[in-house]
A = this chain, B = another copy of it.
């Protein structure tokens, strides 16, 4: 079989998603204050696998819960590359990130769980920061800068990831009525220049 993904790989990804989905669902049931009550055994059972299999995929509850967010961040580089090459950097970044993070509009409860549960803070930061590497490469390619000589790509990528995080926090703020796309645009406009500084 020469599929893009053979049966093995598809099953693997399916169980991975089943586990991470189950983990997030159970965490949501207990709320942000009862995370300790979500036992590994429960996650595994809910996902239809053994506890031992669960941590063939994840080495902590936190990792499983945040896996979806992490997977999404990993696509940031590709999202930016899919923008037309002659588009200015700032517009390309905004368009790419808005498309990536608002298609569909994110699940408010899930995002709130991830972003405002203290025990998940480390994993949440890891999840968002997974975008930085690929993003930096994409920015370097687009602006023709050498990531090893110039700090601009990596710094900008980190700034973008940070802006996305802050936008998430603001969007979750009680009383906020704007769409995530709107908030995200405002946040990104604070940090992304149209071109790297000459030098």
Q: Give A contacts to B, CB under 8 Å.
A: 121-123, 125-126, 129, 132, 151-152, 154-156, 158-159, 161-163, 165-167, 169-170, 183, 186-187, 189-191, 196-197
Contacts and interface: CB of A to CB of B under 8 A. Distances in A.
**What is the copy number of this chain in the assembly?**
2
Contacts of A169: 154
A186 B125 contact: no
B125 A190 contact: no
Given A125-B125, A154-B166, A191-B191, 8 more contacts: A121-B126, A122-B122, A125-B126, A156-B191, A158-B159, A158-B162, A158-B166, A159-B159
B121 A151 contact: no
A151 B122 CA distance: 23
A151 B187 contact: yes
A186 B132 CA distance: 18
A15 to B, nearest CB: 23
Nearest to A169: B154
Nearest to A173: B148
Nearest to A183: B151
Contacts of A165: 158
Given A151-B170, A167-B151, A190 B123 contact: no
Contacts of A154: 166, 169-170
A189 B123 CA distance: 29
A141 to B, nearest CB: 17
A156 B190 contact: yes
A152 B191 CA distance: 9
